[in-house]
Chain A
Amino acid sequence: MNIMATPPKTINDLLNGVITIRDQVKDLREILLANLVMIGEIPSPTFGEEARIRFILDRFTEDGLDRISTDEVGNALAFVRGSEGEKTILVAAHTDTVFNSSVDHTVRVESKRIFGSGVADNSLGCAAVVSIPKILEHLGIVPKHNLLLMGITRSLGRGDLAGIRFFLNNCKVPIDYGLFVEGAQLGRLSYSSMGMLRGEIQCTIPDEYDWTLFESSGAINILNEVITKIMAIPLPTKPKTTITFGSVNSGNSYNTVPTTGSLHFEIRSEQAGMVGDLQNRLEEITDEVASNSQTEVRLEVIARRRPGGTDFSHPLTKVSKRIQESLGVTPKIQPSVGELSALIDKEVPGITIGITSAYKMHSLKENIAIEPVFSGLAQMVGIIQAMDGGFCDE
């Protein structure tokens, strides 16, 4: 195509334009899906993203981007230069997945779905960001401002957003807008960050434990007691507050009493201060159980987010919502505990979106639907155009 398109002059131009864009990006289906397959087949556990980052940097090079670089924490960065280049729009996807390298990462393509470990979270997000240069070229879009494309490392679990935080703390270029791209779900619109605390409760029975004690028991029983007490904590439904138990690990046989165990949990709350209060309450519980059982029960905080974000009335949120609606996508407003939190801490307006519908996420049967991808990409381009065209400025 390569003919320079006229940038949308009004918001209505933009909203009508995204529908045409959706048809046009279908021409790039194999480009996008090939990126998805190739990225998805490179294992990329948190702290082990090097190979995937290498691939992304190679793609940036092949597409002739500017100032291609990586940093101390391994993030992949490159600029699409704008015609004026006055502002900088960050478009980023986290490159780590919840699967370790030993898991089969083969991607399988069917006519309507694509299957594979991490295809939705977040190989598709990465593929969308990596395909932006080819998409803009095909649509004839030359942005006014600079786009900073980024593959983020160390986001998930123990990574605790270290990649994006390092970048935001050390980046010499001021970021004016941030757009985070997740593989799923299409319609997702996150503009605020939820208060969150992720932690692990570890139980260890000391070697000198007196097994003749009345009520002496293994690590599983002790963790069970902790869980029962946590479940008895009254939680407000408004503002919404939840405690999720994500995994329990202990023991390895039928009849040997385990001496260690761990419980992974996550607290989320929309109410400021609530997460901290609950952390104190959990520490009381672990202390109490430890002293009653004469064992060691410790709480370790793995990750924490402060609640915050732009307002719903911010033009960025409103325009993004209208772009989704004009593509027939139902917006699902949900607070984020991902990279957006780090951006919010820096008071930079940003949102997180999803590209398509995904199923059986985080399992070996994880898969995505191909058809909605084109709406997802059109939405991404539309939001970039809105940021670039000044439609999101307050």
Chain B
Amino acid sequence: MPTLTIDGREITVEPGTRIIEAADRLGIDIPRFCYHPGLPVAGNCRMCLVDTNRSPKPVASCWDPCQEGHVVTTNSPRILEARRSVLEYILLNHPVDCPICDQAGECELQDLYFAHDHQASRHPFHKHHKDKARVLGPQIVYDAERCINCTRCIRVCEEVAKAPQLVQVQRGERAYIDVFPGTQLDHPYSMCTADVCPVGALTTRDFRFKCRAWLTHGIQTVCGECSRGCGIRADVYRNEVQRLVPRHNPDVNQYWACDHGRLAYHRFETGRVAAVRIGGATTDYAKGVREVAEALPGAALRGVAVVLTPWMTDEDAWAVVTAIRSVAPGATFAVGGAAPGAADEVLVLADKNPNRNGLARVLADLAVTPVALDEIVAQAPALGALIVFGAEHAKAEALAGALARVPLSIVLAALEGPLTAAARFVFPSTSPYETDGTWVNEQGVVQRVRRAVQPAGDVRDFAVWASDLADRLGQPLPAPARASGGNP
């Protein structure tokens, strides 16, 4: 366990730790471009140079391992001069087109220029021009002029996605990143190359020119596209999700997220259930809840069946089960959910529902034994009421048939589909970006889902609907469920 000193502060680290990692742990900032904590070390940008007592020349702190008795200086005049020179060299042919660059505002080159270089270009000749806006794949656009050839993107493809599709071609100032002839950058993690790009060379086509980075505010939430539950940050501007980017979670997704999950927010931009409907006629939310509350006790005499969705949060599940059992103690519950899909070796799991684990735990806590979905479909003609939560059920057609045969059929969903067409009562509910609560992923990691955008109109969380229904039925839910609420 070597003990070393960085800027006069001592730290003991495991053997093999790089100096830059030890400095990060101490909170000492060493500027870097090519180093990324989730990727193998390349050591080509020379931005992280530090002085040590073991070398006459500055060394790259991302490459040099910590040694016993190492004395490291990160801010000597020689190092500050080295950083300034490295930046001047990197910026030699940089187009400085920050006004039209999507990275501006979150660009490491921009930040480091202002922190360490801050001088006008001394380059008197024409800058070297290269390709701009070159489409590398379905999700990624490449600007060769902005590229600083740090090769982070190449390492993401090779090490994270296990799909070596990018390569560095040419040498010196002509070097640029490219795909192999006749191929394109199309692996399922291609957008991670834009995340790790420290400059605006690789940008996503989804976010390109859509919004400036500094206008958004990031909400830390969780992706719901599979049971992995990758940590994501929803960047929001004017109450609209502009993009999703992965956030670091060492227990779940490291630094990465798949392209599918990052584009999933588009699903909730169209085809939303806009208003409460009773028998196809639009009505207001209060009237809808009142009519359900009036009809439900009568229907409960014949039997109530409820189809829950593994997309609902734990809080939603608790409130829904508690509210419905207060009026129909013998209600049967089933768990629906999206059909299993393809999985891969990196992050994507086969179960395409984010909270199957959490829902099972809540139901077990409430002593509910869910029955099979087919059983409810078979019972449908004898039922008094059938309540379906969510639209993302694999057996939607069979459920829609069952809904049509039940006197009191209720669907709460964010998206229109066969279920909302078949039900008598339709309530709009929140999308995963509009709700707040807890999901438990397949590995059992409990994660908080946060509301990124405010839902419009009569859109309510399941828990809020259940709470309002319980109020109407004269059996209000205990206080904690109300605290999880959505719209007041």
Mutual binders A and B: no
Which residues of A does B touch, CB under 8 Å?
none
Which residues of B does A touch, CB under 8 Å?
none
